[in-house]
Amino acid sequence: MSFNETVSMYAQQTFGSLFGSIEYKLAVAALIMLSSLILAYLVDIVFKKVVLHYTSKTRFEIDDLVIHAVKRPIYYTVIILGAFLALSIVGGAESYLWIFNDILLTILALVWIFTLISLNRILFDNVFPSLVKKTETKIDDEMLPLLKGLSDIVIGLVGIGLILEGVWGVSVVPLFASAGIVGIAIAFAAKDAISQFFGGLSIYYDKPFKNGDRIEIADGQMGIVEEVGIRSTRILDFYNNMIIIPNSIIANNKVVNYTSPQPKMMVKITIGVVYGSDVAKVKRVLMDIARSIDLVLDYPEPSVRFDNHGDFSLDFALILWVRYPSDKFSVINEVNTLIDSEFRKEEIDIPFPTYTILNQQ
C-alpha cells in the first residue's frame, strides 16, 4: 500500500461517518487548507520574530544561514501537507486524483532536496574552509570545490531516485545500471586523470611529505615541495626550476624525505691518500677539519672511518651531521677546500690513478 493510499484510508476511517456528501468533504478540505495556511504563517512568524532574533545574537554566522535555509521549506511543507490531506479527503477512493497527490509529494520532495543542497553548500562555504586552513597541505583546500560539487550531485541523484521509487513506483535499478555502464566508459577514457586524483588523495591521507620538505623521487628528481595539488605536486629543484610531477607517479614510486622525521642530516665525504701515509695522522687532520666548520653539529659528533684499501689509495670516510639538508652542499664545499689546504700543510698526498705499461720486445 502506498503512502497516499494509507493517508486516504485513515482519513476515511476517521471521518467516514461524516462523509455523507461531497459538500461536506469540500468543507472539511477547505478547513484543512485554511488551517495549514494559518499554521504555516504562524511558523513563519516564529522563525522571523523568535528563532532569528536569538540566532542573530550568537557570534556564529552559520546558525543564521541554516535558519534562513530551512525557514521557507518548512513554510511550504506545512502548506503542501495540508493540500495533500485535503485532496486525499476530497478524492477518497477515486483513483484519478492520485496523480495530484503524487505531484504534491514530488514537489515536497524537491523542496527538501534543494534545501539539503543549500545546507550542504553552507557547510562547504562556511565550516569546512576554516577547518582545512588549519592543515599544512593545500590539497584539501583544492578538494573542497570538487567535493562540494560531488556531494550536491549525490544528494540530487539520491533524492530523485527516492522520488521515482517511492512516489511514482519506477524502479531505479535499471537506471543506475545504465549509469554504471556509462561511468565505466568514462572511467576508461579518463583513467589518467582518475589515477592522478586518487594519487593526490593517497598523498593527502598518507602525508609522506608536506610543503617545504626536501624530497627525492625514485627517478632522481630532487627539490623542495612547493605545493601538493589534486592532480600534481610542484617541486622546486636546486636550479630554481619548477618540476611538476603527476601524483600517480609519486604514489607509485619510492620517495625519500630528507626533512622528515627531523631535518638533521648526515653527510659522508670520502677521501683517499697514498699508500704509506700515517693513518692516525690522516684521521686527526680530518677530525680537526670537521670541528672547525660552524655548520657541522657537535652532536652527533663527527667521525672518521678507514673504509678500504683501494686500488690506488687508502680510502677514508668523514661522517658529519648538519642541522638542515640545505647545509649539505656548503659543508661539502668547506670540507673539500680545507682538505686540500690542510693536507698540503701536513704533507699528506692524495693519489691519482697510475698504470704501469710493460713493453715486451
**How many separate domains does the chain show?**
3
Is residue 154 domain-shared with residue 210, that is, in the same domain? no
**Cβ distance 257 to 209 under 8 Å?**
yes
- What is the structure's pLDDT at 276? 92
177 domain-assigned: yes
- What is the structure's pLDDT at 233? 87
Is residue 57 domain-shared with residue 17, that is, in the same domain? yes
> Strand 314-322's sheet: what is its strand order?
265-273, 314-322, 303-309
Which sign does the torsion angle of CA 34, 36, 40, 43 carry?
positive
Q: Last residue of some domain: 237, 261, 285?
A: 261
pTM: 0.54
Is residue 167 domain-shared with residue 191, that is, in the same domain? no
- What is the structure's pLDDT at 262? 83
Q: What is the pairing mode between strands 242-246 and 232-236? A: antiparallel
311 domain-assigned: yes
CA distance 172 to 162: 9
Is residue 189 domain-shared with residue 321, that is, in the same domain? no
358 domain-assigned: no
353 domain-assigned: no
Q: Last residue of some domain: 116, 147, 181?
A: 181
Domain that holds residue 294: 265-346
Is residue 14 domain-shared with residue 160, that is, in the same domain? yes
Residue carrying the nine cell digits 533524492:
159
CA distance 7 to 26: 17
Radius of gyration of the CA atoms of the chain, in A: 38
pLDDT (tens digit per residue) in 50-66: 888 888 888 888 888 89
Is residue 137 domain-shared with residue 36, that is, in the same domain? yes
Is residue 324 domain-shared with residue 177, that is, in the same domain? no
- What is the structure's pLDDT at 185? 52
Question: Which DSSP state fits 296?
Answer: B
Q: Last residue of some domain: 131, 156, 181?
A: 181
Q: Is 256 helix (H, G, I), strand (E, B) or coil?
A: strand
What does each C-alpha distance from 320 to 86, 222, 297, 309 come to in angstroms? 87, 21, 7, 22
Give pLDDT < 70 ranges for the chain: 1-21, 91-97, 136-143, 145-146, 175-197, 354-356, 360-361
Domain containing residue 331: CATH number: 3.30.70.100
354 domain-assigned: no
